[in-house]
Copies of this chain bind each other. A is one copy, B any other.
Amino acid sequence: MRPDGRQTNELRDMQIIPGWNKHAEGSVLIEVGDTRVLCTATVEDRVPPFMKGQGRGWVTAEYAMLPRATGTRNQREAAKGKLGGRTMEIQRLIGRALRSVVDLAALGERSVTLDCDVLQADGGTRTTSITGAFVAMALAMQKLVDNGQLKKLPITDYLASVSVGIVNGQPVLDLNYAEDSQAKVDMNVVMTGNGAFVEVQGTGEEAPFTRDELNALLALAEEGIGQMIAKQKAVLGSVGDRIEEAATYASRS
């Protein structure tokens, strides 16, 4: 039995509120259990220096936690004067994951920046950020289509992410903070709508894990991500239909 009464293969409640920020080209407030992240997508007509002149776009992400997103207050990284290793690792992960489902050539020389700000944390902030940022990105790119700046959505498939881990010897899906702090093995998985893996990051610092345990964790992740993508589709409506077509087409080829 899990602390909040969930089954081992049960996700927490998930809510995605689109358009929560009036300025951003795309935005969502995503809540997974008590984890609450504001994801905004900003479109700019320029790319970073290393991408210039290639006719291709770029997708990148930044991640931060408000100081009191957690049980005790954390000092702001702006006040410390530098980004911590954890922050950098997470924002690199989010950016990499999102780029895996974007056709950067089709995007053209534009950049999309996903800002994922954790307003309240209860485990799974990086996976929740990816799941929410995908929707914010899709909304922002759809605006480029609506404005006539792009012919079609440069997204090749859905994308969502969840954490899995071994807690009390049991593989479980979507760990909250209490579970995360006592997990022996901790794994973050990012998958596409077609069921392929984009990232698998498993760590057994507390206790190395076997091939069988790895397989059990991947199975849980697959199941959870499928449900998350269904909710993304519900929020995206007609925008989502076009992603689905692209993904179906891609999976056939």
Contacts and interface: CB of A to CB of B under 8 A. Distances in A.
B68 A21 contact: yes
Q: Chain A: interface residue count, which band?
A: 35 or more
Contact of A68 (B23, B71, B97, B207): B23
Contacts of A197: 202, 204, 208-211, 214
A79 B83 contact: yes
A196 B210 contact: yes
Main secondary structure of the interface of A (DSSP, over half): mixed
Interface in A4-48: 21-24, 27, 34, 38, 40, 42, 44
How many copies of the chain does the oligomer comprise? 6
A45 to B, nearest CB: 12
A87 B85 CA distance: 8
Nearest to A99: B205
Interface stretch (A88-96, A141-149, A168-176, A235-243): A88-96
Given A67-B113, A79-B83, A157-B208, 14 more contacts: A21-B69, A38-B119, A42-B67, A62-B67, A64-B76, A66-B117, A78-B80, A78-B82, A78-B83, A85-B88, A85-B92, A89-B92, A197-B209, A199-B202
